[in-house]
Amino acid sequence: MSDQPAIRVTDVTRDYRRARTSLVKPAPVVPALRGVSLSVDKGRRFGIVGESGCGKSTLLRIIAGLDQPTSGSVQIGGVEIARLPERRLGFLRSQLQMVFQDPMGSLDPRMRVGDIIAEPLVAQGHRKNRARVHELLEAVGLRPDAADRFPHQFSGGQRQRISIARALAPEPQILVADEPVSALDVSVRAQVLNLLADLVDRLSLTLVFVSHDLTVVRHVCDSVAVMSLGEVVESGPTSQVYQAPQHPYTRQLVAAAPRLQAALSGRSASVLAADTLAARRRGPQDAPAGRYR
């Protein structure tokens, strides 16, 4: 079992049926995924990149057990999860956690942040551990007293940090992130990306990171699969795919990629999180110019 990759996807398809428009003809079928295969080794940072509607988020939801493939195989740590009923996916929830694109949509506005972060622990039968919640908040650059506040009292970047803290609470082996910074400002995006990459390395996690931006994937991931129209059209080491793209669609992505290198090549995430937390303790009026507030 130790030689098994963290994730193995083999010839996965996913079809959706549209509403019928005729009493005679069958409902039209829309193929979202067409024979997708990929493998992610343990401890790697794997990116899936492509334009909106290419099937990357559908693939991520299937990997996370939130959707079922029409055909094909999906293995997590050597265990087949495709078409398993929800009641038999309990082991997956402890091994794999997801960070969603819209943090406000995934955080219950009626719950305090401390309860939100502790929710995965409680769901697994553990008692709420306030010390653990405070530890996770500090790990993502937020003050412990954030536990007593509500999601609407935070900025978009802060809410995504809370989402990351919640995902890390049950100590998963795999973290999957669906466009986790696409709704954030460029400066905040760089900080959250650095933080995420640092935490993944520090905790020896396997990361699957979905984005439409190849520059972001290049910064975060060591391997990448490029998707177009429900298929993987190119894959390999990120630096190789970025510097010498082979498929015409990949070349278009490289040419169109926004240049975020200046923002993404700053301090390490651990230093950034510590600086951010220190600035919050001092207060916004004392924070050095140019730093996240």
- What local confidence, expressed as pLDDT, does residue 290 receive? 33
Average pLDDT rounded to a whole number, residues 187-213? 92
Who's near 261: CB < 8 A, 6+ residues apart?
Answer: 215, 219
Per-residue model confidence (pLDDT) at position 238:
95
Mean pLDDT, to the nearest integer, of 92-99? 89
Output the pLDDT for position 17.
85
- The predicted model gives 163-167 an average pLDDT of 96
What's the half-sphere exposure (Cβ side, CA atoms, 13 Å) at 215? Answer: 17
Of 270 and 67, more confident: 67
Q: Would you state the pLDDT for residue 211? A: 93
- Structure confidence at residue 99 (pLDDT): 94
pLDDT for the residue 167: 95
Q: What is the pLDDT of residue 270?
A: 52
Which of the two residues, 155 and 272, has the higher pLDDT score?
155
When the candidates are 3.10.110.10, 3.40.50.300, 3.30.1180.20, 3.40.980.10, the CATH number that belongs to 7-18+27-255 is: 3.40.50.300
The length of the chain is 293
Query: Cα(254)–Cα(66) distance, rounded to whole angstroms?
Result: 31
Domain boundaries, the chain: 7-18+27-255
Cα 19 → chain centroid = 31
pLDDT digits (tens, 9 = 90+) for 169-184: 999 999 999 999 887 8
Has residue 283 got a pLDDT over 50? Answer: no
